[in-house]
């Protein structure tokens, strides 16, 4: 389904639509549930027949034959219960997996600003704990509802043929019970939503604390992290307490009603026996039927609890699926191909939050194959400009074109395929070095990965590791040095081999010797490609044909190294400062 489908359909219709791909399992589950309900209805009928016909007429052989047949039916019921338990849960898990897959794919489509607004722990909660109750609801919900409905209606029909007045009393009590259940369910549903919100919050705190454990230890702030966790944990306990209060009211009301129903049936049935309008054997049959649908009544009450929990998670899922990505391909977007690398930034302004401009009327032309260095003080807008070119964010005003194509009129995928980025903050996946390098080209051969590693000057380091290319890099690459992480990231770009390169402080974590090696590799890689280099260390931009200085969101200078030194502006100040320090 598309985002529009999620916006136009109710949560229940959306939920039921996930049953379609697994309808065979669903039908088997419901069919077995119906047979179980039918077998449960047999026992009181057989008991009544035995009391009325078989035992008084000394038909003992027939009696034991019927009992044997009943035992055989219960053996069948055991097999049916196994099918319901196994295949029903399999159905529920498959539905949950489909929902989780759609949610993950939807998250993949979201723009950078979505992740700026939402914390990782909260999104993790949406993908995991919120969907767990949906498995139970998908499996037990329809099954419990069907068994309960068939059993209760079947029992009422049989009881009506025995003593319709007493059956009418029972039939009046059941709607009252359902009204009480639905009223209690609303309170449980509200409390369940709060629990899920607090669970997401505590997941966020845990994710943040575990991700920053090294920083916490470095500052000896373990106690501070414990206090922060305890605060979130107390909020979670408070929300659970409210949910358990609602659940306690729900279950105590249910138990009172179910227990009092037996008393009402026996009392009213005793009255009819006193008036000779009912036989004691019929009353026994009635009490057996009450016992038969006591369990379905419990299932109905449990279904209400399950429905409250499941729909709390379902509503959070649907709300997220209804969120449109901020950046979307234009309806007539074309595929960017045969890229030469001409970049035109025309009168571009940009703001992250709509209030404060980060860039002001920036204009820049980069020729195909040209290497342009972007320098300037921190916070001046260098990285922001380079994030606008691959359209991680949309410009507020102006336009950016590649080879004359407005980047808003080409598909984001083709745009990203033609731009390679090495960022200052390198992210490595918790996998092997081989797989992290091959991430730049998922279908690359081992020879191609090795060649990329050699170009990135990381090959010798990899061979010196215990498991070579199969060495595990740890969470976010923590088992590698900062320089090794950056060189692995650089190897990815060599493997991707894009026509446009953006190097955002790509050599910032390297020592001078390694930086010199990498610089030579970059010089080779930049040949015939358009390259933008963001740099604070001016020694890394000597191969640039032009240098652009950005400060306070505007381009202040543009020219060659010698031209900018002669101008005596921001670049000259930066160069003189670094030269004197070195």
Q: What is the DSSP string of 432-501?
A: BHHHHHHTTSTT--HHHHHHHHHHTT-HHHHHTSTTGGG-B--GGGTTS-HHHHHHHHHHHHHHH--SEE
C-alpha 549/C-alpha 364 separation (Å) is 11
User: Would strands 546-551 and 554-559 be described as parallel, antiparallel, or unpaired?
Assistant: antiparallel
DSSP string for 383-451 = HHHHHHTTTSS--SEEEEEETTEEGGGB-HHHHHHTEEEE-SS----SSBHHHHHHTTSTT--HHHHHH
Contacts of 274 (CB under 8 A, 6+ apart): none
**Three-state secondary structure call for residue 365:** strand
- Tell me which H or E stretch contains 52: none
CB 36 within 8 A of CB 75: no
Nearest partner of 439 among 455, 454, 425, 422, judged by Cα: 422
Give the burial class of 449: count Cβ atoms within 10 A of its Cβ; 0-12 exposed, 13-18 middle, 19 or more buried. Answer: buried
- The pair of structure tokens assigned to 293 is 């649908």
> With a threshold of 0.85, does the pTM exceed it?
no
Query: Looking at the domain covering 3-321, what would its CATH class be?
Result: mainly alpha
The closest alpha carbon to 299, from 87, 140, 137, 138, belongs to 140
Return the CATH number of the domain spanning residue range 427-497: 3.40.50.300
Please give the DSSP secondary-structure letter assigned to residue 535.
-
In this structure, are residues 399 and 346 in contact, taking their beta carbons and an 8 Å threshold? Answer: yes
Write the burial class of residue 378 (CB in 10 Å: 0-12 exposed, 13-18 middle, 19+ buried): exposed
Handedness of CA 66, 72, 76, 79 (dihedral sign): positive
Tokens 């898990």 found at:
93
Q: What are phi and psi of 78, to 5 degrees?
A: -60, -45
Residues of the chain with CATH 3.40.50.300: 427-497
134: helix, coil or strand? helix
> Do 204 and 120 contact (CB within 8 A), yes or no?
yes
Which residues belong to CATH 1.20.1560.10 in the chain? 3-321
Local confidence pLDDT in tens for the 582 residues of the chain: 777 777 788 888 888 888 888 888 888 888 888 888 888 877 777 777 777 677 677 777 877 887 888 888 889 989 998 888 888 888 888 888 888 888 888 888 888 888 878 777 777 777 777 777 777 788 777 877 888 888 888 888 887 887 888 888 888 887 887 777 777 766 666 776 677 677 766 777 776 776 666 666 666 667 777 787 777 777 777 767 777 777 777 777 777 777 777 788 888 888 888 888 777 777 777 777 777 777 777 777 777 777 777 887 888 888 888 888 888 888 888 998 888 889 999 998 988 876 678 888 889 999 998 889 888 887 788 888 888 998 888 888 999 999 989 999 999 889 888 988 887 777 888 888 898 898 888 888 999 999 888 888 888 888 988 888 888 888 777 788 777 888 888 888 888 889 998 888 766 656 667 677 677 767 767 777 898 988 777 766 766 888 888 888 888 888 888 888 888 877 788 777 776 655
Between helices 60-109 and 129-162, what is the axis angle to 10°? 150
CB 514 within 8 A of CB 490: no
Sheet of strand 500-504, all strands in order from the earlier edge strand to the far edge: 419-422, 500-504, 530-534, 371-375, 546-551, 554-559
E strand or H helix at 30: helix 23-49
- Start-to-end CA span in the chain (Å): 59
DSSP 325: P
């Amino acid at each position: 389904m598309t985002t529009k489908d999620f916006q136009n359909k109710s949560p229940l219709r959306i939920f039921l639509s996930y049953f379609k791909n697994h309808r065979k399992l669903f039908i088997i589950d419901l069919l077995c549930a119906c047979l179980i309900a039918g077998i449960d209805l047999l026992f009181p009928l057989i008991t009544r027949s035995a009391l009325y016909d078989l035992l008084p007429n000394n038909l003992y052989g027939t009696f034991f034959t019927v009992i044997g047949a009943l035992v055989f039916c219960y053996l069948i019921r055991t097999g049916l219960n196994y099918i319901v338990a196994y295949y029903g849960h399999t159905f529920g898990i498959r539905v949950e997996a489909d929902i989780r897959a759609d949610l993950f794919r939807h998250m993949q489509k979201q723009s950078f600003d979505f992740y700026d607004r939402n914390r990782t722990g909260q999104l993790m909660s949406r993908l995991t704990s919120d969907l767990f109750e949906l498995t139970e609801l998908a499996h037990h919900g329809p099954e419990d509802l069907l068994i309960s409905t068939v059993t209760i209606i079947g029992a009422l029909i049989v009881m009506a043929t025995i003593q319709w007045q007493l059956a009418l009393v029972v039939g009046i009590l059941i709607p009252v019970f359902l009204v009480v259940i639905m009223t209690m369910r609303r309170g449980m549903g509200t409390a369940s939503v709060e629990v899920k919100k607090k669970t997401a919050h505590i997941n966020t705190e845990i994710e943040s604390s575990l991700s920053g454990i090294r920083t916490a230890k470095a500052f000896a702030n373990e106690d501070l992290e414990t206090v922060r966790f305890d605060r979130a944990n107390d909020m979670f306990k408070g929300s659970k307490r409210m949910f358990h209060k609602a659940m306690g009211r729900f279950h105590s009301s249910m138990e009172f009603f179910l227990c009092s129903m037996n008393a009402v049936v026996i009392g009213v049935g005793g009255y009819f026996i006193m008036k000779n309008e009912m036989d004691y054997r019929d009353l026994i049959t009635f009490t057996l039927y009450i016992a038969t649908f006591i369990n379905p009544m419990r299932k109905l009450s449990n279904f209400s609890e399950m429905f409250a929990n499941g729909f709390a998670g379902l509503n959070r899922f649907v709300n997220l699926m209804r969120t449109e990505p901020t950046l979307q391909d234009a309806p007539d977007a074309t595929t960017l191909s045969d890229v030469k690398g001409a970049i035109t930034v025309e009168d571009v302004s940009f703001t992250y939050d709509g209030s404060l401009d980060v860039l002001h009327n920036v204009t820049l032309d980069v020729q195909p194959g040209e290497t342009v260095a972007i320098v300037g003080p921190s916070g001046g807008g260098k990285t922001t400009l380079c994030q606008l070119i691959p359209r991680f964010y949309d410009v507020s005003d102006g336009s950016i074109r590649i080879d004359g194509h407005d980047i808003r009129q080409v598909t984001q995928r083709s745009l990203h395929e033609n731009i390679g980025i090495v960022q200052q903050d390198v992210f490595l996946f918790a996998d092997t070095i081989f797989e992290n390098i091959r991430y730049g080209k998922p279908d690359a051969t081992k020879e191609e990965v090795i060649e990329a590693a050699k170009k990135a000057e990381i090959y010798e380091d990899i061979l010196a590791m215990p498991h070579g290319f199969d060495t595990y890099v740890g969470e976010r690459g923590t088992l590698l040095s900062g320089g090794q992480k950056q060189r692995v990231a650089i190897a990815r770009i060599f493997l991707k081999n894009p026509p446009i390169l953006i190097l955002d402080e790509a050599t910032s974590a390297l020592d001078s010797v390694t930086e010199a090696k990498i610089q030579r590799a970059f010089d080779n890689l930049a040949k015939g490609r358009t390259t933008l280099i963001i740099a604070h260390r001016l020694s890394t931009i000597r191969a640039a044909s032009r240098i652009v200085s950005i400060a306070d969101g505007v381009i202040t200078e543009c020219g060659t190294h010698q031209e900018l030194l002669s101008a005596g502006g921001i670049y000259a100040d930066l160069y003189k400062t670094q030269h004197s320090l070195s």
